[in-house]
A and B are shown apart, each in its own frame.
Chain A
Amino acid sequence: GQNIDQPTEMTATEGAIVQINCTYQTSGFNGLFWYQQHAGEAPTFLSYNVLDGLEEKGRFSSFLSRSKGYSYLLLKELQMKDSASYLCAVPINSGNTPLVFGKGTRLSVIA
């Protein structure tokens, strides 16, 4: 089965950089996803990593280390609108979606 662990809450200042960590254990690996969910809204796709290393996409980057079962989401130049929950997810097994989600990290961006 899958086991995903991420911090429950984080607070950061507008304009700063924040790193949200995720550790996972899976019976088979087929990539790792990050989703963003604003309060009262649906989760939206941010990034997908299947190979080790850093994937950069604008202000957001995602890193993966398969050997360590570790990923992080890096948010730069934080804006108030980045206040949301960030969900780490992996496929339910090596061959299939659906995704199994972590409990999410609620990020609060303060002035």
Chain B
Amino acid sequence: DTAVSQTPKYLVTQMGNDKSIKCEQNLGHDTMYWYKQDSKKFLKIMFSYNNKELIINETVPNRFSPKSPDKAHLNLHINSLELGDSAVYFCASSQGTSGNTIYFGEGSWLTVV
């Protein structure tokens, strides 16, 4: 069973489109995250949610809107896609917010053309 699963795995879309990436975890964790890994492989935190509430937003453009319908799901919606949004987006989860191991999903490869 996949612990943190995200869909789609690959996404190619045109500039200006709106797209969503879904994420679900079955670990019973109460904290979920979105990370972005760019072409230089730098893994950077975007958002952190604890029990469906946003606790960290690392200066991400407001074209990116995360939504957490329950603590097992954290979806990422991106409006008006730009070329620079091309990256791998990783969903992740952990139990609690203090010094606990983060587990990553398999990643979603987004290419904006």
List chain A positions with a Cβ less than 8 A from chain B. Answer: 30-31, 33, 41-45, 48, 50, 85, 87, 91-92, 95-101, 103-104, 106
Question: Counting CB contacts under 8 A, is B25 at the interface?
Answer: no
A-B pairs with beta carbons under 8 A, tally: 66
Given that A42-B106, A42-B107, A43-B104 are known contacts, is A98 also in contact with B99, CB under 8 Å in the complex?
A: no
A103 to B42, CA, bound (A): 5
Could you tell me if A97 and B99 are in contact, using CB atoms closer than 8 angstroms? Answer: yes
Q: Could you say which residues of chain A place their CB within 8 Å of the CB of B43? A: 43, 87, 101, 104
Q: Could you say which residues of chain A place their CB within 8 Å of the CB of B103? A: 45
Given that A97-B48, A98-B33, A98-B48 are known contacts, is A104 also in contact with B106, CB under 8 Å in the complex?
A: no
Given that A98-B56, A103-B42 are known contacts, is A91 also in contact with B101, CB under 8 Å in the complex?
A: no
List chain B positions with a Cβ less than 8 A from chain A. Answer: 31, 33, 35, 40-45, 48, 55-56, 90, 92, 94, 96-107
Given contacts A31-B99, A87-B43, A99-B102, 9 further A-B contacts (CB under 8 A): A43-B43, A45-B103, A50-B99, A95-B98, A96-B98, A97-B96, A98-B48, A98-B92, A103-B41
Residue in B40, B45, B105 whose beta carbon sits within 8 Å of that of A99 in the complex: B45
Which residue of chain A has its CB nearest to the CB of B42?
A103
Could you tell me if B45 and A100 are in contact, using CB atoms closer than 8 angstroms? Answer: yes
Given that A98-B33, A100-B45, A101-B43 are known contacts, is A91 also in contact with B106, CB under 8 Å in the complex?
A: no
